[in-house]
């Protein structure tokens, strides 16, 4: 699964505002983590997105096959892991 995010913190090399990401792609100095459905997901890649504006982070994570669904009934919220539809 590919996610795009901002707020990765300081990178090396430094990003330049407004400049498209080029090689070498800026790498966050802080370890990036992702949770899917409240559970940690394996981050396989977390660097600047090639060709996209500086400050945009591409994060590739292992697809767990489940997504969090929230339901509310009788004033009580609950969370349920729901299998993803379609092929993996």
Q: What pLDDT score does 38 carry?
A: 72
Q: Report pLDDT digits (tens) over 23-68.
A: 888 888 888 887 777 777 788 998 988 888 888 888 888 876 766 5
- Summarize the confidence of residues 63-76 as an average pLDDT: 52
Residue 61: per-residue pLDDT: 82
- The counts of H helices and E strands in the chain are 0, 9
Q: Nearest CA to 63 among 30, 26, 34, 22? A: 34
Q: How confident is the model at residue 79 (pLDDT cuts 50, 70, 90)?
A: very low
Distance CA 64, CA 74 (A): 30
What's the pLDDT band for 76 if we cut at 50, 70, 90?
very low
Strand partners, 41: 34
């Amino acid at each position: 699964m590919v996610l795009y995010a901002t707020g990765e913190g300081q990178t090396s090399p430094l990003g330049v505002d407004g400049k498209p990401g080029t090689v070498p792609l800026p790498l966050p100095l802080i370890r990036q983590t992702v949770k899917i459905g409240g559970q940690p997901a394996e981050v396989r890649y977390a660097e600047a997105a090639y060709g996209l504006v500086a400050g945009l982070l591409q994060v590739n994570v292992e697809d767990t096959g489940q997504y969090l669904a929230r339901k509310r009934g009788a004033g009580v919220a609950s969370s349920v892991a729901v299998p993803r539809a379609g092929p993996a």
